[in-house]
A and B are shown apart, each in its own frame.
Chain A
Amino acid sequence: MLYRESGQFKTSYAADQQLFPILQDRAAVLALLAFALVGVPLVATDYWFTAILMPFLVFSLATLGLNILTGYAGQLSLGTAAFMAVGAVAAYNFQLRVPGIPILVSFMLGGLSAAAVGVLFGLPSLRIKGFYLAVATLAAQFFIPWLLVKVSWFSNHSASGVITAQPVVIAGFAFDTPVRKYLLVLVIVAVMALAAKNMVRSRVGRAWMAVRDMDVAASVIGIRIMQTKLIAFAVSSFYCGVAGALYAFAYLGSVEPDGFNLDLSFRILFMVIIGGVGSILGSFLGAAFITLLPILLEVILTDVTAMTGIALPPGFISMAQLVVFGALIIFFLIVEPHGLARLWQIGKEKLRLWPFPH
């Protein structure tokens, strides 16, 4: 009854082409944004900001990046964390070496550097696909952090390549408390997510999907495969690079290249699979799920030990995490290959008919 698009007539091209054509969707997105901007800072504690909301937003952005590449353009990548590392280190170096550069420009340039590296490692995708490509991106995953540690210029000659991010100041306003950092990241993520949502339905986005579904057929209808794939790598790496910069500057403060390891790449891949391959909304759902799951698991397991008095062996929680992650991936691939985003879609269908399903 509440969620029904019948009676919403589009009378102009602008109305027909808008991002959220259904009034209720528009209202929901605006309400959500307003809540995140105003409501959350009022109610959330510092723990929520630093331990849950920040990683959620940063990983959402990285997941968005990987989803563009894997979900929309169909190129599997296991090197996401490496591109994040490039973004973080590049942003740090632009801040360090270019006097007076605005921090947002540094983030942008960090993203662009990651995009350049992404294109470089995306070149093999012109000849290979599937898991062959996955192995090629593994090369990036192992090579880039190594290079960032070994060439100490990147980290301004600090020990083991650790970079300590400069304070985030925009136009004299310091983003130094968790709330302020959260708001900054929120705005950046929201803008980039809307841009991505727009992009995937544009000519470029449709070309990505055509290549994903069948590359030979796509080339027959006049899509330039090479250009399309490389744009996908560039855009995806740009998103990952910005995510990496935010990871360093807003979330952790100081990072080392070795922190951007294969585990992080896998974690982001899991977010894509569980959230929904080829879905913008899914990127957020997946990131939220994977960020919350370990915390939830820990709470449950501590409760269980407290209640039963059985002492768990050390490291049990992280092992249990591995098992649950693995099982969930298999479960989702078998039961719901389109992830949480698909569940939301089913929910919407139901909502349309509610409360008179027949």
Chain B
Amino acid sequence: MNFFFEVLIGGLLAGVMYSLVALGFVLIYKASGVFNFAQGAMVFLAALTFVGLQEKFGLPLWGAFPLTLGVMVLLGIGIERVVLRPLVNQPQITLFMATIGLAFFLEGIAQIVWGTDVRRLDLGLQDEPIESIMTNFNLLVSKFDLAAAFVAGVLVAVLAVFFNKTRIGRALRAVADDHQAALAVGIPLKQIWAIVWSVAGFVALVAGLLWGARNGVQFALTFVALKALPVLILGGFESVLGAIVGGLIVGASEKLAEVYLPALMSEFLLKHYDISINLAGIEGWFAYMLALVFLLVRPEGLFGERHIDRV
């Protein structure tokens, strides 16, 4: 039973990391209706830029962070200017494909500028179990994962306040509800989009730092970011809360499936059909299949808005 809880907690904490990436998707989707496939590339770019600045100029953490943030903000403004503005009023699917192109572009640029090596990223947090929990409950809970969960919590709280209490946040929500109505009451649409992409860049930076510190800064980060898609389907595209809950569900179910399912299925196949195969590696596709099944039952996700198409 202890082992089960360990896997569950490990999965939930990994899910927090998925949520962080998904959060960036939700922000942009809410404000501009663009499904930003490039969020993963932005996570990668942010982490790589951070490490690159540290290595090249020997900057400390607190020095590299604002600089990288500056790069991400500039990037957000640039994307709005170069990619989004000419594509206003295009079908969503066109914008989606444009962000696929953007993802390739950013991945290429990031590696041309900073090189293709796998880098280590040290945030001063150790990936080691917390001793008090270890002795009292006999559970392995990583310090690092717990810190990541805390950061995610803070980030969500900050974003919630930002969205609900500030002037810009309210403008963002207005734009999300109806572009034209927002324009009509005098909300500067272009400015809002630039802001939202910058905020998404900030979220990408935080996600990139945590993922990078955990797995090293490498190209595989972009694949991790793809996992945010099933997270969004589970949680719903418009919901910050959904991104968090979806991330937790995906993280936990994926880890549990990876640990328990292959053995069960192999045993079953061997017993009844006399086939012996090793089914490890379910983790690679489980989340997507879960999302696929979920789509059939509840296409709008757990917390998404139900859309009614009118002719």
Contact = CB atoms under 8 A, between A and B. Distances in A.
A333 B101 contact: yes
Query: Chain A: interface secondary structure?
Result: helix
A176 B96 CA distance: 43
A322 B47 CA distance: 19
Interface stretch (B68-76, B170-178, B280-288): B280-288
Nearest to B278: A150
A304 interface: no
- Interface footprint category on B: 35 or more
B229 interface: yes
B108 A142 contact: no
Interface in A302-326: 313-316, 319-326
26 contacts: A124-B292, A124-B296, A130-B92, A134-B96, A135-B229, A135-B295, A136-B292, A138-B229, A146-B281, A146-B285, A150-B278, A150-B281, A152-B277, A262-B226, A269-B100, A273-B97, A322-B104, A326-B102, A326-B103, A326-B106, A326-B107, A329-B98, A329-B100, A330-B98, A330-B105, A333-B101
Interface string B81-115: 01100110010111011101111111111011001
Interface string A218-239: 0010000000000000000000
Interface of A: 76, 123-124, 127-128, 130-132, 134-136, 138-139, 141-143, 146, 150-152, 214, 216-217, 220, 262, 266, 269-270, 273, 313-316, 319-330, 333-334, 337
A139 B288 contact: yes
B167 to A, nearest CB: 31
B129 interface: no
A135 B291 contact: yes
Interface in B260-311: 277-279, 281, 284-285, 288-289, 291-292, 295-296, 299, 309, 311
B108 A124 contact: no
Judged by DSSP, the binding face of B is helix
A121 B67 CA distance: 45
Contact of A150 (B92, B111, B279, B288): B279
Contacts of A150: 277-279, 281
B41 to A, nearest CB: 9
Given A142-B285, A150-B278, A217 B108 contact: no
Interface string B211-255: 000000000000000100110110000000000000000000000
A139 B295 CA distance: 12
Contacts of A337: 90, 94
Contacts of A152: 277
Given A138-B229, A315-B111, A323-B108, A124 B278 contact: no
B116 interface: yes
A294 to B, nearest CB: 13
Given A135-B230, A135-B233, A266 B100 contact: yes
